[in-house]
Amino acid sequence: MRRLLIGFTAWALAIAPVWAAPPPAGSNLYLSTVGVPIIYNGRLMNYVLVRLSLTLRPGTDVSHLTEKEPYFREALVRLAYRTRLNPADSLNRVDPALISAKMLPICQSIAGANVVTAVEIKYQEPQKWLGSPAPSAAPAPRTEP
């Protein structure tokens, strides 16, 4: 019995550094793919399928935030209807820098202050490939007879 107790104590001391390891530097929450609407001149032109990765503060419980995933996805779609997220010269993609800048404060309000530290696009693919948008022509001046 004594040998068993000494053996278990030695094993516990050998594995203790693994138990006391610090939390990972930062974990990510990967959202499901979302169809982001591309609106041009007030018309729905395309959808771009986007998958976001939210970088979380170290020590954050990821399982708690997975319950809030629908809120993050809904916020992205609502943002796309309010703000143009695609570059001016393309109807086939979204601007990663713009999405990151606009979604970060929204994600922090959903998850809590300073829980989400970065938003990154991991995947984007248009639903259909469209050509570049035609430059908007100014209306011809109206002449009165």
Domain membership of residue 9 (yes or no) is no
pLDDT single digits (tens) 58-114: 988 888 899 999 999 999 999 999 999 999 888 999 999 999 999 999 999 999 998
> Which runs of E-coded beta strand occur in the chain?
28-30, 34-40, 43-56, 116-126
Residue pair 103/111 in contact (Cβ under 8 Å)? The answer is no
**Domain contains 132:** no
* Residue 65 belongs to a domain: yes
Instruction: Show the domain range for 87.
Output: 32-126
Residue 28: CB partners within 8 Å, gap ≥ 6?
A: 53, 54, 55, 56
Reported residue count of the chain is 145
Could you tell me if residue 24 is inside a domain? no
The count of domains in the chain is 1
Tell me the pTM. Answer: 0.72
Q: What percent of the chain shows pLDDT beyond 70?
A: 74
74-83 pLDDT, tens digit per residue, is 999 999 999 9
| Domain-located, residue 18 | no
